[in-house]
Amino acid sequence: RKTLYRLRDKMAATMKNVEEIRNRVILGEFDVKNVHTTDYPGNYPGYDDVWDMQKFQKNFRIDVVHLDENTMEFDMVGIDAAIANAFRRILLAEVPTMAIEKAFIYNNTSIVQDEVLAHRLGLIPIKADPRLFEYRNTGKTEEGSEIDTIQLQLKIKCSRNPRASKDSSDPRELYLNHMVYSKDIKWVPIGNQADVFADSGIGPVHDDILIAQLRPGQELDIIMHCVKGLGKDHAKFSPVATASYRLLPEITLLEPVEGEKAERLKRCFSRGVIDLEDVNGKKVAKVVNSRLDTCSREVLRHDDLKNLVKLGRLRDHFIFTVESTGILPPEVLVTEAIKVLMAKCQRFLNELDSTDMK
């Protein structure tokens, strides 16, 4: 009977170790363990990793943690790192937007060279829903139309302020229109755009982007054409400022930590991760919110603390952060990225079907 008990305990310990290897990334003092993905059928004893759509649907979920006008944080649980990274790359490079593609500079007497000025203009986010436009076919004609082009104009000239004080040296008082901002860019409707997009407010997302500084007599006269494009062609078409993910941290206290050790343990982690609670007059460390941890591994530098804590990350729990440039709301960007991924999958399935037919 004792042999059976020992065998049972050994098997339980083995299964626990297998589960940790399979589901956790462990942060050690000098290395990171279990970073590989090997959840194919038969690799782990006791686990049935055969693909099952019903099982996937049951385990997969998306939880929105934070959402405002320009940023979104959500959890994507139950997927592989390859899918999560594909989703991130689609957000960066394959969700279309409208951006300035051509700048016709009729007059530029500022100190900013034409090439630099055109580059600055191209990087200004333009508030226009790309879903309402088509990709421009440059093969047919150089001229844009109302269905594929937005026309903008920047026409401004600097002059002296006749009301400025003679003793003033402040350029803001001496000159008029000496600071050229994105708010000076005006939309020039093409065809029926004035009626179709009357309520859209097409123009730069932000009004306070500095384009150039002028002095009396200097002027800018530029016509710009915005077209639909993808971030993989040029960064100006990327709809996000940042799109990143990280694994959910997991912090486990292996034994009670009290007193001065608890104080030091709290300081080793990001604010809000560890809290101290009073137990029988003693301060005892408690993990409150491991999600806030940045996984700096500072605690592993303390010889008397590093064996009291286990640091890990859940392999299939991804925390996504999406920051929009303001062209589209972040929740719309996420939805569009999912549509792009679905279209890729469908295209792949169609290719497989066509190959089978041959």
pLDDT for residue 142: 64
Query: Are the C-beta atoms of 273 and 248 separated by less than 8 Å?
Result: no
Q: Quick check: is 268 in a domain?
A: no
What is the CATH classification number for the domain harbouring 151? 2.170.120.12
Query: Are the C-beta atoms of 344 and 352 separated by less than 8 Å?
Result: no
Q: How big is the chain by its Cα radius of gyration, in Å? A: 29
Q: Quick check: is 270 in a domain?
A: no
Largest Cα–Cα distance of the chain, in whole Å? 104
pLDDT for residue 45: 72
pLDDT for residue 358: 55
Alpha carbon dihedral 29, 33, 35, 37, in 10-degree steps, equals -170
Q: Quick check: is 74 in a domain?
A: yes
Q: Quick check: is 285 in a domain?
A: no
Count of structural domains, the chain: 2
pLDDT for residue 3: 66
Closest to 295 in 3D by CA, of 345, 250, 241: 250
Same domain, 155 and 220: yes
Query: What is the distance of C-alpha 231 from the center of its chain?
Result: 13
Same domain, 245 and 219: no
pLDDT for residue 5: 55
**Structural domain span for residue 66:** 20-95+239-254+308-358
What is the CATH classification number for the domain harbouring 91? 3.30.1360.10
Same domain, 162 and 228: yes
pLDDT for residue 138: 67
- What are the mean pLDDT values of the chain's consecutive 10-residue runs (358 residues total)? 59 61 86 78 74 88 94 94 92 96 95 95 95 81 82 96 86 92 95 88 94 95 96 95 94 92 93 91 92 92 92 93 95 95 92 73
pLDDT for residue 169: 87
Q: Quick check: is 9 in a domain?
A: no
pTM for this entry: 0.84
Same domain, 61 and 104: no
Name the residue with tokens 């226009």: 128
pLDDT for residue 53: 87
